[in-house]
Chains A and B, each alone.
Chain A
Amino acid sequence: MDLNKCIGCQTCTVACKTQWTNRNGREYMYWNNVETYPGTGYPKNWMELGGGFDAAGDLQPGVIPNLEADYGVPWDYNYESLMGGQADSNTFHPHVSPTWGPNWDEDEGAGMFPQDNYFFYLPRICNHCTNPGCLSACPRDAIFKREEDGVVLVDLDRCQGYRYCIAGCPYKKIYFNPKISKSEKCILCFPRVEQGLPPACAQQCVGRIRFVGFLDDEESQVHKLVHKYKVALGLRSDYGTQPNVYYIPPTESPAKFDAEGKIIEGSTRLPIEELEKLFGPAVHDAIKTLKAEMKKRKETGVSELMDLLIAYQHSDMFRLDNNYYQQVAKENKRNPLAPVDTRYIAGKFTTKGHTQTLFGGHTAGGHH
């Protein structure tokens, strides 16, 4: 996720919500949310709620957030009375009195306006960690990490709603569904990914900040950003869960103003300490690389990293592999479904022979 490009429009949030969480006790959940940083985040002060591992590798105790105080009860309006023509400005009201909700402190940030205030947007989904806190906390083995791609899922048949997973996740990205009394979380849109399609949040991202692929696929954008250029870093990797969502830290921030409202040359509003807190000490090198490549691009017009980050084509951001999943299905005798959309399929298991002709002779599939 390229934080230099995120505009906080919440299109990802809406894409996820309409796809997965607007019903059945999931109403309060945001499998994807975009929060203002610095800020309280969602749920409120999630970084202070424990979970994750200490240096010795011991799972840390955590707190399960409260629906009203920490998540916010989702409110709805009395549309019915509006439809019936009985409503006026006095009678149109939310069904609960809102006291808290996600983005309650949107765009507030920190510092003093106009001298040195600052903020940036931090989109968050489940990190599908390599060492998941939720999985380690579950006493029922109801959480598993898929061997084929590392997606972390809840086995809803085994889950008994104990909620230790919520305490164990340092990102508080697993939620309790009170309606079915089970835990639920971001599934990385695995039904889409298996068809070679990016998750809904990434597909809909208007800022083109989200790259999706397999980290061990050297041709993938994510491999280049994370391993080749090392400009994408895990969020709060100090929690010890080895998160698999990587962020390009924000490198650009305006200068501060002095008391007379004049620009303080060479100053920057975004304190590096904040970025170090989020992304660890490697953030210094990442920013250095990003700035150097930006300069190189300006001067020479050539930079593979900048071209990658610009993402000229939507399809240039994703490298998934439908045929890979078909092979997994075949090996495990599961039912391999036909791909719905092959535009993003460019993995090592995908051959040209797989491309198909869609509407009006437009050829899809393969790498564009």
Chain B
Amino acid sequence: MKKLLTSILSLGVAASAALAAEPLITAAKVANVNDASVWEKAKFETVTLYPQTAIEFNDKKANELTAKAKAKKAQVAAVHDGKNIALMVKWADKTKDVQGIKCSDTYSDGFAVQFAAATKKPQPLPYIGMGSEGRPVIVHLQKATSKVYEPNGNKDVGMQINRQQTGVFGKELADFDAKVAALANTDFERVFVAEGFRSLTEIKDKSVQSNASMTYVPGGWNGSLVRPLKDQYVNLGGTVPVSIAVWDGTNMGRNGLKNLSSWVAINLEGQKPNAAMVAELTTDAKGDAAKGKEAAMTNGCNGCHQLEATDAKSFMGPALHNAGGYSTAAYLRESILKPSAVVVPGYNRNAHANTPWYNIEKGKRVSTMTDFSFLDKETVDNIVAYLKTLKAEAE
């Protein structure tokens, strides 16, 4: 009986894993990526975006809203013209959320595209959540906001006072209002460079020539991004790994409260693809997931990690119930064998002082996780295959 049950279980696991293989996107070569008509012919692939659940944030309402968050499906296409790459991301969102300037607890819809700075070797790619030490990423973020007024950006201190305190009336006051409105920045587009979440740094020196935009169409958003294939941060060619994230303001989405994809491969038409990268990102993990689950239990993974969505929460290690969705097999394997290679940002140590998931040794974060490099290859393969099954269903 037990044997039968196991085989049924592994069948089920195999079936779901087969469905989940990430697509390969081909970026057609076009004359000009800024020409809107290129999207009519572009081939869209379905990319699944999983709820980020590695750590739970301390926002009670948001946690209630996202407690049963499901994966989202986005339609993604890319084109390039030899100089620039353009991406179009379409995703469903029933409500258009634009963070207003008159509210303290509303949030915007938004999307982001993440590029790895080094793209030659598929193993290891940077950690999916804002990269990792020594493996930088560039993140393009676009949020749907109403006018954003950042007076300090341009040293326009004189425009910082309230209209009622200007001491002027009538036409002079109207002139003042017009000046303030002209200073308002209407576009919340940001570019970051990061080597791990806490190092996220906005690039403000205009050294990245990119343009992102979001358009609401009935039932969802179309987000587009154009950026150079080469600049001081990235050198994209052949096969480009990207990761996509979307935020839903209705669910109070911001920073980690988002849905994100694993690394997805984009082949640039007319260039030699990176076969190793394509293989890494589009084939399923080898291994027996059912045996992997058993091995995970025997090795006590659940002592510190929440594995299944129904398991108890832990402040010790990152929750893994969506790790199979947004992590590559190589990353999962590395985390088992070399836990300190990437220390997931996690909680501020001050927030959960009794469950420190890393220590700082010589200025570097060292994971408190046991090194499991003593496990044989087959067991590790099985555990990775099991972890790859841990993910939320799609909406």
Closest to A58 in B: B352
Q: State in angstroms the CA–CA spacing of A66 and B354 once bound together.
A: 32
B162 near A27: Cβ-Cβ < 8 Å: yes
Q: Taking the complex as formed, is B371 at the interface, i.e. its CB lies under 8 A from any CB of chain A? A: no
A23 near B104: Cβ-Cβ < 8 Å: no
**How close is A359's CB to chain B, nearest CB, in angstroms?**
30
B169 near A84: Cβ-Cβ < 8 Å: yes
Q: Taking the complex as formed, is A137 at the interface, i.e. its CB lies under 8 A from any CB of chain B? A: yes
B148 near A180: Cβ-Cβ < 8 Å: yes
B60 near A61: Cβ-Cβ < 8 Å: yes
Chain A residues with Cβ under 8 A from B202's Cβ?
A: 157
Size category of the binding interface on chain B:
35 or more
Q: State in angstroms the CA–CA spacing of A67 and B149 once bound together.
A: 19
Knowing A64-B59, A65-B104, the reply to whether A160 touches B352 (Cβ < 8 A) is no
Q: Which of B345-383 contact A (CB under 8 A)?
A: 345, 347-348, 350-355
Q: Taking the complex as formed, is A57 at the interface, i.e. its CB lies under 8 A from any CB of chain B? A: yes
Q: State in angstroms the CA–CA spacing of A168 and B169 once bound together.
A: 42
Q: Which residue from A59, A61, A65, A138 sits with its C-beta under 8 Å from B63?
A: A61
B197 near A161: Cβ-Cβ < 8 Å: no
B100 near A178: Cβ-Cβ < 8 Å: yes
Chain B residues with Cβ under 8 A from A23's Cβ?
A: 160-162, 165
Residue-wise interface mask of B (122-156) relative to A, using a CB-CB cutoff of 8 A (1 in contact, 0 not): 00000000000000000000000100111110000
Q: State in angstroms the CA–CA spacing of A79 and B353 once bound together.
A: 53
Q: Does more than half of chain B's interface fall in helix, strand or loop, or is it mixed?
A: loop
A50 near B162: Cβ-Cβ < 8 Å: no
**How close is B145's CB to chain A, nearest CB, in angstroms?**
7
Chain B residues with Cβ under 8 A from A139's Cβ?
A: 57, 197-198, 255-256, 345, 348
A25 near B162: Cβ-Cβ < 8 Å: no
Chain B residues with Cβ under 8 A from A64's Cβ?
A: 59, 61, 104-105
**How close is A291's CB to chain B, nearest CB, in angstroms?**
38
Closest to B184 in A: A179
Most buried by A among B105, B254, B350, B355: B105
B58 near A164: Cβ-Cβ < 8 Å: yes
A160 near B255: Cβ-Cβ < 8 Å: yes
Residue-wise interface mask of B (251-275) relative to A, using a CB-CB cutoff of 8 A (1 in contact, 0 not): 0001110000000000000000000
Q: Which residue from A135, A137, A160 sits with its C-beta under 8 Å from B58?
A: A137
Q: Which of A55-108 contact B (CB under 8 A)?
A: 56-68, 71, 73, 76, 79-80, 83-84
B102 near A163: Cβ-Cβ < 8 Å: no
Q: Taking the complex as formed, is A162 at the interface, i.e. its CB lies under 8 A from any CB of chain B? A: yes
Q: State in angstroms the CA–CA spacing of A208 and B103 once bound together.
A: 36
Q: Which residue from B59, B63, B151, B255 sits with its C-beta under 8 Å from A24?
A: B151
Q: State in angstroms the CA–CA spacing of A50 and B59 once bound together.
A: 9
Q: State in angstroms the CA–CA spacing of A253 and B105 once bound together.
A: 40
Closest to B200 in A: A140
Closest to A139 in B: B255
Q: Taking the complex as formed, is B297 at the interface, i.e. its CB lies under 8 A from any CB of chain A? A: no
B103 near A66: Cβ-Cβ < 8 Å: yes
A57 near B58: Cβ-Cβ < 8 Å: no
Q: Taking the complex as formed, is A121 at the interface, i.e. its CB lies under 8 A from any CB of chain B? A: no
**How close is B252's CB to chain A, nearest CB, in angstroms?**
8
Q: Taking the complex as formed, is A181 at the interface, i.e. its CB lies under 8 A from any CB of chain B? A: yes
Q: Taking the complex as formed, is B37 at the interface, i.e. its CB lies under 8 A from any CB of chain A? A: no
Q: Which of A164-209 contact B (CB under 8 A)?
A: 164, 166-168, 175-176, 178-181
B354 near A56: Cβ-Cβ < 8 Å: yes
State the B residues within 8 Å of A (CB). 57-61, 63, 99-105, 145, 148-152, 160-162, 164-165, 169-170, 173, 188, 197-198, 200, 202, 254-256, 315, 345, 347-348, 350-355
15 cross-chain CB contacts under 8 A: A50-B60, A61-B63, A62-B58, A63-B60, A64-B61, A65-B104, A67-B102, A67-B103, A80-B170, A84-B170, A131-B350, A137-B351, A167-B60, A178-B101, A179-B148
Q: A22-B162, A180-B151, A180-B152 are in contact. List 4 more A-B contacts (CB 8 A).
A: A58-B355, A140-B255, A167-B60, A178-B103
